[in-house]
Structure 1
Amino acid sequence: MNVNHPSLSFEVFPPNTAAGTANIKETLDRLQALNPNFISVTCSNNKSNIEETTLKLAGYINNTLKVPAIAHLPAAYLNTQQVTRILTELDSLHIHQLLALRGDIIPEVPRKDDFKYASDLIRFVHAQKPGFKISGACYPEIHPESPDLVSDIRYLKQKVDAGCNQLITQLFFDNDRFFTFKENCALAGIKVPIIAGIMPITNRKQALRLIKTTSAHLPKKFLAIFDKYEHDPASLRTAGLAYAVDQIVDLITRGAAGIHLYTMNHAETAINIQNTIGSLFNSSAQLNN
């Protein structure tokens, strides 16, 4: 990876309505024009239906739009037979990249027993398809279920040792915490690229949900934007986008390997960021299909 030209990538999720399906194709057409390094596709809430949701959308991205696609696989909801079938399907779609996760634990969705942790899934995929590029998730501010920082970094090292080629962070809003995390990874011998996951906050509903549910630290500057513009949608959008742009520029300047935008299936914010600071990124995909 050329550190002077870090990657730019996007995350989308499979829609569950007809209107959502129409919207996602329009969104993806617009994201394609930004020449991302890759687009990742999350799992739907019905995690047993990955072939009809995640893989179908990833196939469209990879083969129709000609943008490298990464499919999310949740370890907790898959068994070895399913993963073997999914890997075969990915091969047929010419997709040789995936993001291995444990997956959020949803009480109403039955878990499987084959892969307790993401590292178990990574190890299995690496053995079955050693040519696949495997991404893993990481938490700059510690996984909510980890007992402490040392344990969290140790578990992350296990993912990398199992065959993980790069890491993508959960969203965060305090860059200093990201770089402290990056230093801790280096001290632990974690040498794979760490891509920063960024979610621009551009509307009141999104901000309120984030404030209530996130474990990420919200800096005073971020909270001040919401306090001042909570009931002014246009100004909140402008200020939220400016915050994200400042965050991204700082990350790139200080050596982040790449930026992964959580788009929420909307292209406007990504387009605005590309128009503002697009020259800081690679102009074409670096990850090989």
Structure 2
Amino acid sequence: MSTFNYSLELLQNNSNSKKQALKKLAPEFISIAYTNHTLSFFETTFSTALTLKKVTNIKTAVHLPASSFTQEELDKLVVALQKSTIDSALILSGEKKLNKNSAYTSALELAKFLSRRIPNLDILCSCHPETITSEINLQNELSLMKTKEAAGCKIFISQIFFDNTMFIHFVNHCRHAGIKAQIRAGIMPIVNKNQLTFVKKILKLQLPDSFEQVSNDIELKKIGIQFALNQINMLKKQGITDFHFFTMDNLDTVKLLIDGVL
């Protein structure tokens, strides 16, 4: 049986059920989503990460949208990270207008800053397989990924996708371009209608035909989990070993996925 490694994205809370479930699931690492900037990052995202790392001893990354932090906040973050057991950060570009006083507006800028200030910090970034559909966009993405890798990025987590062939071609282009960092396949099992709306209206991705005629949530969950399982098992046959699940706090779905992996 081929290797199967998986990681999870989680929301900012420390429920006892989540702690116990994580211990049983034992993912390779977890990433804690960024809070809305009207709330305190340190009281939500960072606090959740500290608690879950302490309780589960699972490698934990905090989400850091570059456009969300002032220089003062970044200096505070550096001190907090250096004093904590958190050794990883998923650095995202975020919305450019999220904080008009932000020190940086791009993930690359923030990655360079944190790499200088905390050399032993494990830096993760996102990547976008859908750029394979445009030669210009693909070359821009590859160039940016190479620059992020040079700035310290060790793992790329892909945007959600539904076309396995596209993802495989994207990874091959990355390797041919000399990118050596790990590339994790981002998988979102569609199990409710809110996710359908998110994928179509926010991410603007084309959903597989099997989702378009679903009439109720029970049927949607069944189809969504089976589609995700098919994705994972087909990708494993193509040599993909590393996955990141966008299941948020739906750990029951994670259990169904890992139990169904061949």
TM-score w.r.t. structure 1 length?
0.82
Letter in 2 for 1:171: I
Q: Is the 8 A contact 1:48 1:77 kept in 2?
A: no
Letter in 2 for 1:127: R
For 2:121 and 2:240, the matched residues in 1 are separated by 23
Secondary structure at the counterpart of residue 264 of structure 1: coil
Change (3 A) 1:47 1:38: farther
Work out whether 1:133 is the aligned partner of 2:118.
no
Q: Is the 8 A contact 2:8 2:248 kept in 1?
A: no
Change (3 A) 1:200 1:125: same
Q: Which runs of 5+ in 1 are unaligned?
A: 15-20, 281-289
Work out whether 1:262 is the aligned partner of 2:243.
no
TM-score w.r.t. structure 2 length?
0.90
Deviation at 1:88, TM superposition (A): 2.1
Partner residue, 2:9: 11
Deviation at 1:113, TM superposition (A): 4.6
Work out whether 1:59 is the aligned partner of 2:50.
yes
- 1:235-274 correspondence runs (5 A): 235-274=219-258
Partner residue, 1:162: 151
Higher relative CO (Cα under 8 Å, sequence separation at least 6) belongs to 1
Query: Runs ≥4 in structure 1, deviation > 3 angstroms?
Result: none
Letter in 2 for 1:211: K
Change (3 A) 1:205 1:72: closer
Q: Is the 8 A contact 1:39 1:61 kept in 2?
A: no
Deviation at 1:25, TM superposition (A): 4.1
Letter in 2 for 1:55: F
Residue by residue, what CA displacement relative to the aligned partner does 1:8-57 show, whole Å, maximum 9, x if unpaired?
1100122xxxxxx47x4423421331111111001111167211111100
Q: Is the 8 A contact 2:191 2:220 kept in 1?
A: yes
Q: Is the 8 A contact 2:111 2:151 kept in 1?
A: yes
Letter in 2 for 1:210: V
Secondary structure at the counterpart of residue 145 of structure 2: helix
Secondary structure at the counterpart of residue 142 of structure 1: helix
Q: Is the 8 A contact 2:11 2:33 kept in 1?
A: yes
Secondary structure at the counterpart of residue 70 of structure 1: strand
- Match for residue 210 of structure 2 among 224, 240, 246: 224
Secondary structure at the counterpart of residue 165 of structure 1: strand
For 1:168 and 1:258, the matched residues in 2 are separated by 9
Work out whether 1:49 is the aligned partner of 2:35.
no
Work out whether 1:118 is the aligned partner of 2:116.
no
For 2:102 and 2:29, the matched residues in 1 are separated by 31
For 2:67 and 2:203, the matched residues in 1 are separated by 22
RMSD between aligned residues: 2.3
Work out whether 1:76 is the aligned partner of 2:60.
no
Deviation at 1:147, TM superposition (A): 6.4
Letter in 2 for 1:114: A
Change (3 A) 1:166 1:113: same
Work out whether 1:153 is the aligned partner of 2:142.
yes
Q: Which runs of 5+ in 2 are unaligned?
A: none
Identity in percent = 28
Deviation at 1:7, TM superposition (A): 1.7
Letter in 2 for 1:233: D
Letter in 2 for 1:231: S
Partner residue, 1:287: none
For 1:252 and 1:271, the matched residues in 2 are separated by 18
